[in-house]
Structure 1
Protein backbone atom coordinates (compact mmCIF):
# COMPACT_ATOMS: atom_id res chain seq x y z
CA UNK A 1 0.00 0.00 0.00
CA UNK A 2 1.26 3.43 -0.88
CA UNK A 3 0.29 5.40 2.24
CA UNK A 4 -0.11 9.12 1.55
CA UNK A 5 -1.33 11.01 4.62
CA UNK A 6 -1.85 14.22 2.64
CA UNK A 7 -4.40 12.35 0.49
CA UNK A 8 -6.59 10.98 3.30
CA UNK A 9 -10.32 11.22 2.54
CA UNK A 10 -12.14 14.16 4.07
CA UNK A 11 -15.41 13.53 5.83
CA UNK A 12 -18.22 16.00 5.19
CA UNK A 13 -21.16 15.60 7.57
CA UNK A 14 -23.98 18.04 8.22
CA UNK A 15 -24.78 16.10 11.40
CA UNK A 16 -21.26 16.71 12.73
CA UNK A 17 -21.52 20.40 11.88
CA UNK A 18 -24.94 20.47 13.63
CA UNK A 19 -23.56 19.08 16.92
CA UNK A 20 -24.28 22.25 18.99
CA UNK A 21 -27.90 22.26 17.75
CA UNK A 22 -28.35 18.52 18.38
CA UNK A 23 -26.76 18.87 21.83
CA UNK A 24 -29.24 21.62 22.72
CA UNK A 25 -32.21 19.59 21.48
CA UNK A 26 -31.21 16.55 23.52
CA UNK A 27 -29.62 18.12 26.59
CA UNK A 28 -31.81 21.21 26.91
CA UNK A 29 -28.82 23.53 27.17
CA UNK A 30 -26.22 25.09 24.88
CA UNK A 31 -23.12 23.02 24.21
CA UNK A 32 -20.12 24.56 25.98
CA UNK A 33 -16.97 25.67 24.20
CA UNK A 34 -14.48 22.79 24.12
CA UNK A 35 -11.66 24.98 22.74
CA UNK A 36 -11.29 27.26 25.78
CA UNK A 37 -8.19 29.05 24.48
CA UNK A 38 -9.39 32.62 25.15
CA UNK A 39 -7.66 32.76 28.54
CA UNK A 40 -4.25 32.42 26.86
CA UNK A 41 -4.69 35.93 25.45
CA UNK A 42 -6.40 37.47 28.50
CA UNK A 43 -9.98 37.02 27.28
CA UNK A 44 -12.95 34.93 28.39
CA UNK A 45 -15.03 32.55 26.33
CA UNK A 46 -18.14 34.06 24.78
CA UNK A 47 -21.58 32.81 25.83
CA UNK A 48 -22.28 29.17 24.99
CA UNK A 49 -25.08 30.18 22.60
CA UNK A 50 -22.36 31.47 20.22
CA UNK A 51 -20.76 28.00 19.91
CA UNK A 52 -20.30 26.48 16.47
CA UNK A 53 -18.15 23.73 15.06
CA UNK A 54 -14.67 25.01 14.15
CA UNK A 55 -12.30 23.20 11.80
CA UNK A 56 -8.87 22.70 13.31
CA UNK A 57 -5.82 23.74 11.33
CA UNK A 58 -4.52 20.31 10.54
CA UNK A 59 -2.99 18.27 7.77
CA UNK A 60 -5.34 18.24 4.84
CA UNK A 61 -6.14 21.93 5.15
CA UNK A 62 -5.10 23.83 2.08
CA UNK A 63 -6.02 26.60 -0.25
CA UNK A 64 -9.81 26.67 -0.55
CA UNK A 65 -10.21 23.44 1.44
CA UNK A 66 -11.05 22.71 5.04
CA UNK A 67 -9.92 19.78 7.09
CA UNK A 68 -12.21 16.81 7.57
CA UNK A 69 -15.32 17.38 9.68
CA UNK A 70 -13.85 14.71 11.97
CA UNK A 71 -11.28 17.36 12.95
CA UNK A 72 -13.80 19.89 14.25
CA UNK A 73 -14.21 21.17 17.78
CA UNK A 74 -16.97 23.15 19.43
CA UNK A 75 -15.81 26.73 19.82
CA UNK A 76 -17.42 29.88 21.13
CA UNK A 77 -17.26 33.04 19.06
CA UNK A 78 -14.10 34.27 20.82
CA UNK A 79 -12.14 31.01 20.62
CA UNK A 80 -13.22 30.37 17.02
CA UNK A 81 -11.91 33.82 16.02
CA UNK A 82 -8.63 33.13 17.84
CA UNK A 83 -8.28 29.86 15.94
CA UNK A 84 -8.92 31.45 12.53
CA UNK A 85 -7.96 35.13 12.74
CA UNK A 86 -5.89 36.08 15.77
CA UNK A 87 -4.45 39.59 15.95
CA UNK A 88 -0.67 39.96 15.94
CA UNK A 89 -0.67 40.25 19.75
CA UNK A 90 -2.97 37.24 20.14
CA UNK A 91 -0.86 35.16 17.77
CA UNK A 92 2.20 36.04 19.87
CA UNK A 93 0.45 35.02 23.08
CA UNK A 94 -0.75 31.74 21.58
CA UNK A 95 2.79 31.05 20.37
CA UNK A 96 4.32 31.96 23.75
CA UNK A 97 2.09 29.40 25.45
CA UNK A 98 2.35 26.97 22.52
CA UNK A 99 2.64 23.78 24.56
CA UNK A 100 -0.37 24.60 26.72
CA UNK A 101 -2.37 25.72 23.67
CA UNK A 102 -1.51 22.49 21.83
CA UNK A 103 -2.60 20.46 24.85
CA UNK A 104 -5.88 22.41 25.00
CA UNK A 105 -6.48 21.78 21.27
CA UNK A 106 -5.95 18.02 21.76
CA UNK A 107 -8.32 18.04 24.74
CA UNK A 108 -10.92 19.99 22.73
CA UNK A 109 -10.78 17.33 20.03
CA UNK A 110 -11.24 14.54 22.56
CA UNK A 111 -14.14 16.31 24.30
CA UNK A 112 -15.86 17.06 21.00
CA UNK A 113 -15.46 13.49 19.68
CA UNK A 114 -16.88 12.17 22.97
CA UNK A 115 -19.92 14.43 22.51
CA UNK A 116 -20.29 13.19 18.91
CA UNK A 117 -20.36 9.61 20.18
CA UNK A 118 -22.67 10.47 23.10
CA UNK A 119 -25.16 12.16 20.75
CA UNK A 120 -25.06 9.13 18.41
CA UNK A 121 -23.60 11.12 15.52
CA UNK A 122 -20.56 8.87 15.40
CA UNK A 123 -21.30 5.20 16.07
CA UNK A 124 -18.82 2.43 16.71
CA UNK A 125 -20.21 -1.07 16.15
CA UNK A 126 -19.56 -3.54 18.98
CA UNK A 127 -18.07 -0.87 21.23
CA UNK A 128 -18.66 -0.77 24.97
CA UNK A 129 -18.87 2.65 26.58
CA UNK A 130 -18.14 3.41 30.21
CA UNK A 131 -18.24 6.57 32.27
Structure 2
Protein backbone atom coordinates (compact mmCIF):
# COMPACT_ATOMS: atom_id res chain seq x y z
CA UNK A 1 0.00 0.00 0.00
CA UNK A 2 1.24 3.44 -0.75
CA UNK A 3 1.67 6.10 1.91
CA UNK A 4 -1.16 8.27 0.56
CA UNK A 5 -3.74 5.50 1.09
CA UNK A 6 -3.26 5.45 4.86
CA UNK A 7 -4.88 7.90 7.25
CA UNK A 8 -2.73 8.55 10.32
CA UNK A 9 -3.94 7.73 13.81
CA UNK A 10 -4.69 10.85 15.84
CA UNK A 11 -3.53 10.75 19.46
CA UNK A 12 -4.73 13.12 22.14
CA UNK A 13 -1.82 14.95 23.77
CA UNK A 14 -2.97 15.80 27.32
CA UNK A 15 -0.27 18.46 27.86
CA UNK A 16 -1.20 20.34 24.68
CA UNK A 17 -4.93 19.50 24.90
CA UNK A 18 -4.94 18.79 21.17
CA UNK A 19 -4.73 15.96 18.62
CA UNK A 20 -1.47 14.97 16.93
CA UNK A 21 -1.28 12.68 13.86
CA UNK A 22 0.99 9.63 14.14
CA UNK A 23 2.19 6.99 11.70
CA UNK A 24 3.18 4.13 13.96
CA UNK A 25 5.09 5.73 16.83
CA UNK A 26 6.31 8.75 14.86
CA UNK A 27 4.47 12.10 14.68
CA UNK A 28 3.62 13.07 11.11
CA UNK A 29 2.02 15.87 9.13
CA UNK A 30 -1.73 16.44 9.06
CA UNK A 31 -3.47 15.12 5.96
CA UNK A 32 -4.49 18.21 3.93
CA UNK A 33 -8.16 17.10 3.88
CA UNK A 34 -8.49 17.07 7.71
CA UNK A 35 -9.82 20.15 9.51
CA UNK A 36 -8.38 19.98 13.07
CA UNK A 37 -10.99 22.43 14.41
CA UNK A 38 -13.75 19.90 13.57
CA UNK A 39 -12.22 17.11 15.66
CA UNK A 40 -14.15 16.09 18.80
CA UNK A 41 -12.74 16.66 22.27
CA UNK A 42 -12.46 13.60 24.52
CA UNK A 43 -15.03 13.38 27.31
CA UNK A 44 -12.45 11.86 29.69
CA UNK A 45 -8.81 12.64 30.41
CA UNK A 46 -5.74 10.42 30.55
CA UNK A 47 -5.40 9.11 34.11
CA UNK A 48 -9.16 9.13 34.79
CA UNK A 49 -10.66 6.02 36.42
CA UNK A 50 -13.82 4.95 34.57
CA UNK A 51 -16.39 2.16 34.37
CA UNK A 52 -16.89 0.59 30.95
CA UNK A 53 -18.68 -2.27 29.19
CA UNK A 54 -16.35 -5.02 28.05
CA UNK A 55 -17.21 -8.67 28.64
CA UNK A 56 -20.09 -9.96 30.70
CA UNK A 57 -23.00 -8.23 32.39
CA UNK A 58 -20.99 -6.29 34.97
CA UNK A 59 -19.08 -3.11 34.15
CA UNK A 60 -15.30 -3.18 34.29
CA UNK A 61 -13.20 -0.51 35.95
CA UNK A 62 -9.88 0.85 34.76
CA UNK A 63 -7.64 3.86 34.19
CA UNK A 64 -7.39 5.64 30.82
CA UNK A 65 -3.83 5.47 29.49
CA UNK A 66 -4.19 6.83 25.93
CA UNK A 67 -6.87 8.43 23.75
CA UNK A 68 -6.91 8.18 19.96
CA UNK A 69 -8.92 8.40 16.77
CA UNK A 70 -7.89 5.42 14.61
CA UNK A 71 -6.79 6.00 11.05
CA UNK A 72 -5.84 3.14 8.79
CA UNK A 73 -5.87 1.97 5.20
CA UNK A 74 -8.49 3.00 2.70
CA UNK A 75 -9.20 2.21 -0.93
CA UNK A 76 -8.63 4.67 -3.79
CA UNK A 77 -12.33 4.54 -4.79
CA UNK A 78 -13.59 5.51 -1.31
CA UNK A 79 -14.97 9.00 -0.76
CA UNK A 80 -12.16 10.50 1.34
CA UNK A 81 -14.30 13.32 2.79
CA UNK A 82 -16.92 10.84 4.04
CA UNK A 83 -14.22 8.52 5.36
CA UNK A 84 -12.53 11.32 7.31
CA UNK A 85 -15.89 12.47 8.69
CA UNK A 86 -16.68 8.91 9.85
CA UNK A 87 -13.25 8.19 11.37
CA UNK A 88 -12.28 11.56 12.79
CA UNK A 89 -15.20 13.96 13.27
CA UNK A 90 -17.52 11.81 15.43
CA UNK A 91 -17.06 11.64 19.20
CA UNK A 92 -18.26 7.99 19.05
CA UNK A 93 -15.12 7.17 17.02
CA UNK A 94 -12.79 8.02 19.93
CA UNK A 95 -11.00 4.96 21.32
CA UNK A 96 -9.72 4.91 24.89
CA UNK A 97 -6.85 2.61 25.84
CA UNK A 98 -7.76 1.54 29.38
CA UNK A 99 -5.62 -0.40 31.86
CA UNK A 100 -7.96 -2.85 33.60
CA UNK A 101 -7.35 -6.15 35.34
CA UNK A 102 -3.68 -6.08 34.48
CA UNK A 103 -4.13 -5.60 30.72
CA UNK A 104 -4.70 -2.79 28.24
CA UNK A 105 -8.18 -2.75 26.67
CA UNK A 106 -9.30 -0.76 23.61
CA UNK A 107 -12.72 0.70 24.38
CA UNK A 108 -14.84 2.90 22.08
CA UNK A 109 -16.33 6.01 23.65
CA UNK A 110 -19.99 4.79 23.68
CA UNK A 111 -18.98 1.83 25.86
CA UNK A 112 -17.69 4.01 28.69
CA UNK A 113 -20.38 4.21 31.36
CA UNK A 114 -18.94 7.01 33.47
CA UNK A 115 -16.46 7.96 36.14
CA UNK A 116 -15.56 5.49 38.85
CA UNK A 117 -16.59 6.64 42.28
CA UNK A 118 -14.11 4.29 43.95
CA UNK A 119 -14.84 1.63 46.53
CA UNK A 120 -13.13 -0.59 49.05
CA UNK A 121 -13.95 -3.56 46.77
CA UNK A 122 -11.92 -2.13 43.86
CA UNK A 123 -8.95 -4.55 44.26
CA UNK A 124 -11.33 -7.53 44.17
CA UNK A 125 -13.24 -6.20 41.16
CA UNK A 126 -10.10 -5.38 39.19
CA UNK A 127 -8.66 -8.84 39.58
CA UNK A 128 -11.74 -10.68 38.40
CA UNK A 129 -13.27 -11.90 41.64
CA UNK A 130 -16.76 -10.55 40.88
CA UNK A 131 -18.48 -13.60 42.34
CA UNK A 132 -16.38 -13.61 45.50
Q: In which range does the TM-score fall when normalised by the shorter chain?
A: under 0.3
Of the two, which has the highest radius of gyration?
Answer: 2
> TM-score of the superposition, structure 2-length normalised?
0.26
> TM-score of the superposition, structure 1-length normalised?
0.26
Query: Which structure has the highest helix share of the two?
Result: 1
Where relative contact order (Cα < 8 A, 6+ residues apart) is larger, the structure is 1
